[in-house]
Structure 1
């Protein structure tokens, strides 16, 4: 049986960055990373870029690098997938039937896209006008649908589940609005944001700014609308009204952007010792340590941390996890580092503007710059489009970017968290 000092389950953003931190600390071969060689054809994707791909500003290729280039060289790549966790035995079972033993475990398996929970999907993606920025299979269809749009309803959805990057469902809507204006078809379009949520955005400061934007652009927002079915033959989308669950409402569409329902990976959900009632990895919201197994930590979208699931959140979580897990490894009793729930959502509002939302567990803004980031900004847009991808590949995945906390303190003259 293979055995590792630190075993990382998952080679996404959280898994790569944390593995890099521990691989630089421990002797070569002490860290193992489980990531299937067949998933995504051995490719690691910078997924926050897919909003720009759907708007025609980037390509899928721009968001991709070979997995072999991003995993730390001193770590061992286990080219398999997790079947189940056995935390009482300190082992992970692989899909191949093998078991891997660990002394310390980091669970970083991300979140599962569940298009098939919507009746008519994924088959509807084979028809015109239907796309999704959440998958390499469908993101190019988003821009194609935008280019093909002539008139009618353009509908953008938000599911009734936790999602990664909760701002992305409406980012593409603002991009579509500007694209249609530039190409002279906006006056023939009805743009709808049909969201299962009861608010446009979860943090009031940014929600207030976004309400002004949708009102100025004459975008219709329908709250408590959950997409339950797509009928591609008649080009109709059926929504359940969550404040009247027995009722549905059907909309015709010319363009339909779908944000799929999401849920915990099967390997996590089916490992009852590991997960909370929600099916996500059950960790302490401040230390990221598992609530029942002291040698297990979790990071990112697969955990039950009550914050938005974003790459920015993972960057902030990474150093907290590293410091606290080091304390456990060194038999120190107290974990000094605490995660405050920091996350960021660069809300792209067009081809040159962005609202840069940053906030903590309590919905309090934690803004990096000493300006009002709820206002649309060209600087924030270019950070999103040009700076963040480089930061991601060169620093974040190498374990050298822990979020903007120190920068924020510096720019606010030490008067910020």
Structure 2
């Protein structure tokens, strides 16, 4: 016999826990279940700092039990299918759960297999990724003794648009401190055609790139890695733009451009979870198909989607979820109380804390239109312009934001 919940949440990451905690703070009588298989909850935004050797990986993790709201049922299981037509969710353990309202917050899946040769070398030797093992990234950076340090940015969508750059800037700083910068070529191979979409932030990042003499190659999409010969093969857009050009060991084969590396930081392709792609809740690309303002599903009025698995056209960050969760909460409460949505909407807000070196950071905050939207609260930290590098923004990233996450956001408090 299946169990029925008033609200069922799929996913115990940032989005799922924030929504559950906030709902139960506002209405403790709700019958709410959270389906999440993992025994641990991770604060992934600090993994860049872990990869740069300035934060403990262990401190980014807490037991899942400690963040699940006390009044919620934790279903420690994996979802295998969602039947939105009949309000049912089935799990790996053969259980079935029914719901009145469903919140889809399953996060996304990293799929190294979509890049030929990557599964065999990822997190081994000189191939690293903060997305999968930031401790290994730090090991690679520490052991690097010169040559070509290649940092790759994939096509969107992927988690945290600035992450591939942030670890590069930290690594460059570390190479300089060790005295090996003069015998090092730092290369940024990006599938994009710009350094960043927000003009105010891009202006600062270009200053960083030129100051550090980083070779930037736009229009380069990683397709294959030859781990034996240490060559990364890219599909390169003709007449791609290049900045700070340097002499590199480059070859061409089968329509691909190969760059020889001595270390490489990669981002596995980000996709929706398999069970999500198999539902009728997704768009043509497999992402949860929701209204960008209300986050209500476009076909099923009793379903909401937020976080990394949704198709809202903004960056996939915890900061975006911070603004999405209150919208989902208010709309759910409105439907439960009066069968109408609230007036609260999501404007596409997201932010990217761009670490540009040890003790330096820029804070990109923007909406759907990519308009720069600095938080007025930053003035409390005596920060006049967050589009410029500032040590106080580094303090915000390393100390204040983790504290706010564990003590406020996951407790359902708006910050």
Give the TM bin, normalised by the shorter chain. over 0.9
- 1:11-410 maps to which residues of 2 (within 5 A)? 11-27=12-28, 30-36=31-37, 39=38, 42-125=39-122, 127-135=124-132, 138-243=133-238, 247-271=255-279, 273-368=280-375, 369=378, 371-401=384-414, 403=415
Please state how far the C-alpha of 1:259 moved relative to its aligned partner. Answer: 1.1
| Cα distance in 1 for residues equivalent to 2:238 and 2:285 | 22
Structure 1 residues 365 and 267: CA distance shift in structure 2, 3 A: same
3-state DSSP class of the match of 1:330? helix
Quote the offset at 1:217 in angstroms.
0.8
Separation (CA, whole Å) in 2 of partners of 1:26 and 1:275: 30
Instruction: Tell me the TM-score normalised to structure 2 length.
Output: 0.92
Shift of residue 247, structure 1, vs aligned partner: 2.7
Give the deviation of 1:332 after TM superposition.
4.4
Between the aligned partners of 1:89 and 1:51, the Cα distance in structure 2 is 42
Residue segments in structure 1 that go unaligned for 5+ positions in a row: 404-417
Distance in 1 of aligned mates of 2:324 and 2:229: 45
Q: Distance in 2 between matches of 1:390 and 1:249?
A: 44
> 1:373, 1:338 → 2: CA distance?
25
1:296-328 Cα shifts (integer Å, max 9, x gaps):
111110100111010000011111111111111
**Which stretches in structure 2 are left out of the alignment for 5+ residues?**
241-253
Q: CA shift at 1:59, angstroms?
A: 1.9
TM-score (norm: length of structure 1): 0.92
| Distance in 2 between residues matched to 1:305 and 1:47, nearest whole Å | 21
Number of the residue aligned with 2:248: none
Deviations 1:332-367 (A, max 9, x none): 435300111111100001110001100000000110
SS in 1 for 2:358: coil
Rounded Cα–Cα distance in structure 2 between residues aligned with 1:30 and 1:126 = 42
Q: Distance in 2 between matches of 1:340 and 1:216?
A: 35
Contact 2:367 2:373 in 1 (8 A): yes
Q: Could you say what the CA RMSD is over the residues aligned between the two structures, in angstroms?
A: 1.5
Quote the Cα distance in structure 2 between the aligned partners of 1:157 and 1:59: 24
How many residues matched? 395
* Distance of aligned partners of 1:126 and 1:143 in 2 relative to their CA distance in 1, 3 Å threshold: closer
Q: Shift in Å at residue 125 of structure 1? A: 2.6
Contact 1:127–1:232 (8 Å) recurs in 2: no
